[in-house]
Amino acid sequence: MMGTSDTYLIRPNHQEKFKPAVVKECIREVVRERLTGVRYDDEEVRQLSTTLADSIKDRVKKAGFDRYKLTVQVVIGEQRGQGVKMSTRCFWDADTDSYAEDVFITENLFCVVVVFGSYYY
Amino acid sequence: MHTEKKRSKEDTWKAADLKRYIAEGSHEDGRRGDRGESLEKHYKESRRERDKHREYYTGGRVDADEMYRHVERRKEGSQDRRDDRERNRIEERLMEKERRRERDTVDMNSGEHIKKTDRRRRDREETQERERDRQRQREKDKVRDKYTDEERVRRRQEREKEVRREEGDREYKHYRDRRSHESIDKGGSEYTDKYNRERRERHRERERQGEEYGISRSEKERRERHAERKQSEHKEGKDYQDDRRKDKHDRERRHKEQRHHDEKQKHHSESREHRDRKRTEEEVRHHRSDREAEGDKHTERRHKEEKDPKEHFKERTQEMDKELQQTNSSHTQKAEETKIVNEKETEQEYEDDFEEYEDDFEELDESDNEDGEKEELVEHKEELSLEKREEIKAIQRAMDEENKKVGALSRQNTTEIKEERPKWSRESETTESQTPQRGKFMDFVAAKQREVNKKVASKQKKRSAELLRLIDLDFTLTSSLLDLPPVNEYEMYIRSFGTANTKQAYVQCNEDNADRDIQTEEIELTEKWTQHPPEHSGACGGENLFLYDFDFGIYILSLFSDPNISPKTRDGPLNELNIDSKRLTTFLQSASQVLIVLLEEDEAERNSLRKLRTQTDDLSFSDGGLQLNTNLPFLQGHHISLIHFSEVQKHTMISVHTSTTKPSAVLLGNHTLICIWNIWEPSRPQKILLYESEVQCCCFSPGKATLVFAGTTVGSVVLWDLREHTSNHYQMTIGDDEWTFRHPSFSTDAVMSASGHFSTVMSVEVVPSAVARGQRSEVSLLAPKEEATGLSFQLASLDESGILNFWVVVELPKTNVAGSPTDLGLRPGGKVKLLHSSTLSVVDRMLHRAKKSAHLQMLRLKFLPTDSNHFFIGTNMGTVHHGTSHGLKALPKFYRDLEGNEKPVDINSISFSPFRQDLFLVGCGDGCIRLHSVSQEKPLIEWRDGCAGQSVVSVQWSQTRPAVFSVLDSASNIYLWDLLKNETKPVITEGMGKDRVTAMALFGDSEQRNTYSGVALAHESGKIQIQYFTSNLTVSSLSEVEKLTSLIEAI
């Protein structure tokens, strides 16, 4: 760290790069496992969303995206025929950073999970 | 040690440089520490101890070994320290004098006397203290900067840490790391071995000198350090990490070295007996008896240790953490401390793995120590007096206070603290007694932390600045994560009110299956046609209307022959209804005409016999005659101006009935009527032509008489196409009969004003076709049919002003019922028209010869029958002009009377002989009749009183006899000349009496089978009488033409 010419790793190598498809699969598995057959209950869901986020984060961490800061957002809402629109916009380095999202919808609830991976340079 | 040397440099160092130096220094320390015999000894000792433990606890229980190792050591240490204590006390007293701060230490140390458990550590601390004091002394002497000194101290501490770490490392490696790097290490081992030995020697020396506290020692140290520095300086430029790696490597190497060394030392010199013994012990593992010797060594080692770290630990105590002190003071707290350390370590995010790696050892080390101390605890339970506990509490309190201060200052700087913390924790065991000193140096810690903080912050800032150049951030497109449309009303309804498993459906019940019915009856259809105007029988028709067939004519004929013809034959054709109506109509027309002619002839013959008888009385030349039925209502009052026979159809006659001047009750009084007669059918005219103005002259078309041309007083030339269907013409029913009045098919009236005539057309003549030329005799027989087929011939019209126009008769391929848009002269439905061909001005040619005649009028036009190029025009000057339409002028140009004079006499008639076509007769207004030959200007014969002074109206050759001609004068006298009988006067002169004859025309057919000839006389009353000549006038004798020729030649 004291060298005059510092060298930085500003790109993840290929294996470690954030792969939305992989992450999406992780999300899907976790969400499917945890939410199938669950009825919406606003008391429960509060806790459920945080635990879901944590488990997804852990799961994604295992996927080995080194030097990635992971941000997991879980939104669970009740399905009552209302219209819902969710969208995202990011200010980041598109070369390294990415996100994966998955939507899980049942009769009475919907769950949107977004995982953002931003790279530590 | 080397600090003295450094100090001079450090005076002016900046913070950054210092930092770097610290980093390097730590390496140096590490390196030096490695080489330092104290460490080695320490290590060896621990090894030895372990070995000993193994001896005690047979069965290779390594863990247990470890457990008891420390206990053993402590036991040993206690013995050593007892020796040392005396010395320590002296030192402490010295320190008291020197520094107020040292008082604390002394207090601590005084308390320390009682504490047996921590003896070893305190000893070490005391020695450090002593050493530090010595340095302080030196500082004072040299008036050194306090801060730089502290820096140095810190460095030293770090070095110490390194050493500690290495210790742990070695220990750790000893039972953990079995990887062999001996191949690498062997090379260096020899050297290090020697070096270590040297150092050990030096230390021993120092030990000896230790009590003197002389400057000489410090000098020596300085020298020593200088040498070390030299060694390390060459590495300064290298990367920090590199160094670290090297360090690690070194450590490993050394670790092995030492093992190696152990083995080596067995074979070493006598001076190392005790060590050899130790090694052998290690090998044999059963030398309990060596403990005394070891103990000696141990004291040595201790001493060395004390000397070595005394500098390192000099100020260490001041910077002690709470946790560390806790560890020192109470064994229970120690465990906590390690935990905290571990926790903090996890927080050290940016610390590299090396440190973590070290920390691992640390923990082990500590745990070893702990275990050892636990053992100690067990052993020296009695020794843990209340005093000790109180002291611990006091220390805890002091540390709490300090922590509060430090915590306030260094909350943000946790990372830096953490860096150091592991080191402290390592040192904590030994530096416990020095904690009271901490308060004095708090500010430096904070400052240092801030500095480090700043450094790290700037480093991070630099990093971010450099990185941001390389990275470009951008906005991603807004991507939709979830789009859940609202449920529509029907679904909502079903969801909220509908029951499950129901669905709404819509069914239409047969509504579009409507019936349709038609109530009207079927319309019967028959095919019929009609024509307008419906003037004849074929005007309308249908499928069942035609009862006739092609063989209708046969049927008609059979009617005549056999009136009782069976209806069966009629029924036959009735069934065949598929008939071309148009073709049938034409057939019926022609057939009916034939029938009518047949019927009329039949009747006329019967009548003529009767009439002839009656009329022969009247006329000497007549062999009987008949009267055409001009007693028609529309012909009443009309004056007949002209009678003309067709040259080909010799029984077809034209009679021109001029319009009447007197007002007539009769229709068409102001019109000129032209009647086409068949002299065999006198009962009624075949066709009636109608024209609005007066017709001056007219003629038939050559060949079959299908066209009638007429020149009118208004200067127009008109033509009628007799073939036109009657239905196309104006039909009028007068009485019981229906008459068709035909208007001209074509008129040049307004169309060709530029090229037409501007005065009365005096004569219209068909230009004889050139084909007939030279074959005159046969022309009369063959020409009609030939010319009838192709309607292509020329027409010439002459007006009185001398303009001679030539027209081409054109038959259009098809009629246009709507009328021609381009040719306004053509009647709608008309097929034949005249095209203007050329114009000749005959007057101009004549005028230069007869200039005096101002009023030259052209009266008659005749063409030479054998050559259409030559035309002959009769004028009002008694001359006949001879001209050609094209080519050279023909001679003679004029035909005059015998005197050759030009006098104002009208040429009323010119007639070419049908037998001798070079001969023509000229009838003059003064009653003179001249017989001219074409080739001579003067007449062959001139009969001056041929008409008894009356003007000649008409003169005509007989059609059957070459030598006979007839003359009509204005006094209605008819003169018949027979040149063979009498060449000077007429053979018959007949006056027509009270009914004046206005026009005369001779007719006749020279056919052998049925030769007839006669004269048609138009009376003023409107009657037309046809008189047949008697046979002597009709039938020509043989070689009559020759006789005439000879006669003429005779004349």
pLDDT digits (tens, 9 = 90+) for B346-393: 444 444 444 444 444 444 444 444 444 444 444 454 455 677 788 888
Does the structure show a pLDDT above 50 at B20?
A: yes
Whole-number pLDDT of residue B542 = 56
Distance CA B68, CA B62 (A): 10
Chain A residues touching B485 at Cβ < 8 A:
83
Does the structure show a pLDDT above 80 at B998?
A: yes
Nearest to B471 by CA among A25, A95, A65: A95
Whole-number pLDDT of residue B844 = 65
Q: Half-sphere exposure of B894 toward its Cβ, with a 13 Å CA cutoff?
A: 20
Q: Which two tokens stand for residue B750?
A: 């307004």
Inter-chain touch B481–A110, beta carbons under 8 Å: no
CA distances (Å), origin B865, targets B186, B483, B771, B778 = 158, 113, 11, 13
Which carries the bigger pLDDT value, residue B490 or residue B70?
A: B490
Distance CA B101, CA B438 (A): 9
Query: Using CA of residue B541, residue B547, residue B553, residue B559, what is the dihedral sign?
Result: negative
CA-only gyration radius of chain A, Å: 17
Residue B369 CB coordination number (10 Å):
23
Distance CA B121, CA B328 (A): 9
Whole-number pLDDT of residue B420 = 45
Nearest to B314 by CA among B439, B134, B162: B134
DSSP 8-state assignment for residue B937: S
Chain A residues touching B27 at Cβ < 8 A:
none
The mean pLDDT value for B890-897 works out to 77
Whole-number pLDDT of residue B583 = 78
> Mean pLDDT in chain B?
65
Angle separating helix axes B331-347 and B414-431, nearest 10 degrees: 150
Which carries the bigger pLDDT value, residue B653 or residue B250?
A: B653
Nearest to B1024 by CA among B1005, B997, B1004, B1002: B997
Quick check: B483 contacting A, CB < 8 Å? yes
Does the structure show a pLDDT above 60 at B824?
A: yes
Which carries the bigger pLDDT value, residue B582 or residue B245?
A: B582
Whole-number pLDDT of residue B456 = 92
Inter-chain touch B481–A6, beta carbons under 8 Å: no
Torsion of CA B18, B24, B26, B31, to 10 degrees: -150
Chain B residues touching A89 at Cβ < 8 A:
475-479
Q: Based on the number of CB atoms within 10 Å of its own CB, is B406 exposed (0-12), middle (13-18) or buried (19 or more)?
A: buried
Residue A67 CB coordination number (10 Å):
15
Does the structure show a pLDDT above 70 at B450?
A: yes
Peptide bond before B702: cis, by omega within 30 degrees of 0? Answer: no
Nearest-Cα residue of chain B relative to residue A84: B484
Distance CA B596, CA B680 (A): 10
Helix residue ranges, H only, B113-239: 119-142, 146-176, 182-210, 215-236
Query: pLDDT over 90 for what percent of chain A?
Result: 31
Q: Based on the number of CB atoms within 10 Å of its own CB, is B456 exposed (0-12), middle (13-18) or buried (19 or more)?
A: middle
Least confident of A105-114, B531-540, B686-695: B531-540
The mean pLDDT value for B811-836 works out to 77
Does the structure show a pLDDT above 80 at B164?
A: no
Query: pLDDT over 70 for what percent of chain B?
Result: 47
Chain B residues touching A69 at Cβ < 8 A:
none
Query: Using CA of residue B588, residue B590, residue B594, residue B596, what is the dihedral sign?
Result: positive
Does the structure show a pLDDT above 70 at B304?
A: no
Least confident of B86-100, B724-738, B795-809: B86-100
> Given B463, B467, B475, which is nearest A91 (Cβ)?
B475
Inter-chain touch B23–A91, beta carbons under 8 Å: no
Nearest to B979 by CA among B921, B924, B936: B921
Task: Provide residues of A within 8 Å CB-CB of chain B.
Answer: 1-3, 6, 8, 10, 75, 79, 81-94, 101, 103, 105, 110, 112, 114, 121
Query: pLDDT over 90 for what percent of chain B?
Result: 1
Nearest to B256 by CA among B362, B345, B183, B336: B183
Q: Which of B91-100, B289-298, B995-1004 has the highest mean pLDDT?
A: B995-1004
The mean pLDDT value for B978-992 works out to 81
The mean pLDDT value for B776-800 works out to 59
The string of pLDDT tens digits covering residues B590-606 is 888 788 878 877 776 67
Whole-number pLDDT of residue B93 = 60
Does the structure show a pLDDT above 80 at A24?
A: yes
CA distances (Å), origin A60, targets A21, A72, B751 = 11, 10, 109
Q: Which two tokens stand for residue B808?
A: 């081409």
CA-only gyration radius of chain B, Å: 84
Contact B763, B799 (CB under 8 A): no
Whole-number pLDDT of residue A103 = 92
Inter-chain touch B239–A112, beta carbons under 8 Å: no
Least confident of A19-23, B663-667, B944-948, B1042-1046: B663-667
Q: Which of A33-47, B13-27, B392-406, B838-852 has the highest mean pLDDT?
A: A33-47
> Given B466, B474, B487, which is nearest A6 (Cβ)?
B466
DSSP 8-state assignment for residue B681: B
Contact B729, B743 (CB under 8 A): yes
Give the gap in angstroms from C-alpha A44 to the nearest C-alpha of chain B: 22
CA angle B360, B361, B362 (to 5 degrees): 90
The mean pLDDT value for B958-978 works out to 85
Task: Give the pLDDT band of residue B158 (cuts 50, 70, 90).
Answer: low
Task: Give the pLDDT band of residue B341 (cuts 50, 70, 90).
Answer: very low
Chain B residues touching A91 at Cβ < 8 A:
473-476
B269: Cβ contacts below 8 Å, ≥ 6 apart: none
Whole-number pLDDT of residue B592 = 84
Contact B932, B923 (CB under 8 A): no
Task: Give the pLDDT band of residue B875 (cuts 50, 70, 90).
Answer: confident
Least confident of B7-16, B634-643, B733-742, B762-771: B7-16
For chains A and B, count residue pairs whose Cβ atoms are closer than 8 Å: 81
Task: Give the pLDDT band of residue B230 (cuts 50, 70, 90).
Answer: very low
The mean pLDDT value for B709-726 works out to 85
Distance CA B572, CA B553 (A): 15
Whole-number pLDDT of residue B457 = 93
Helix residue ranges, H only, B348-441: 353-379, 386-409, 414-431
Distance CA B519, CA B338 (A): 114
Give the gap in angstroms from C-alpha A28 to the nearest C-alpha of chain B: 14
> Given A10, A89, A112, which is nearest B482 (Cβ)?
A112
Does the structure show a pLDDT above 60 at A67?
A: yes
Does the structure show a pLDDT above 60 at B327?
A: no
Does the structure show a pLDDT above 50 at B1018?
A: yes
The mean pLDDT value for A77-102 works out to 88
Does the structure show a pLDDT above 60 at B782?
A: no
Whole-number pLDDT of residue B972 = 82
B541: Cβ contacts below 8 Å, ≥ 6 apart: B528, B529, B530, B581
Q: Is the ipTM of this complex over 0.85?
A: no
Task: Give the pLDDT band of residue B685 (cuts 50, 70, 90).
Answer: confident
pTM for the model stands at 0.43
> Mean pLDDT in chain A?
86
Amino acid at B258: Q
3-state secondary structure B809-865: EEECCCCCCCCCCCCCCECCCCCEEEEEEEEEEHHHHHHCCCCCCCCCCEEEEEEEC
Whole-number pLDDT of residue B84 = 53
Does the structure show a pLDDT above 90 at A72?
A: yes
The mean pLDDT value for B628-644 works out to 80
Peptide bond before B486: cis, by omega within 30 degrees of 0? Answer: no
Does the structure show a pLDDT above 90 at B52?
A: no
Nearest-Cα residue of chain A relative to residue B238: A3
Which single residue is written with the structure tokens 């044999």? B284
Whole-number pLDDT of residue B3 = 40
Strand segments, DSSP code E, in B448-605 are 474-475, 479-484, 528-530, 540-542
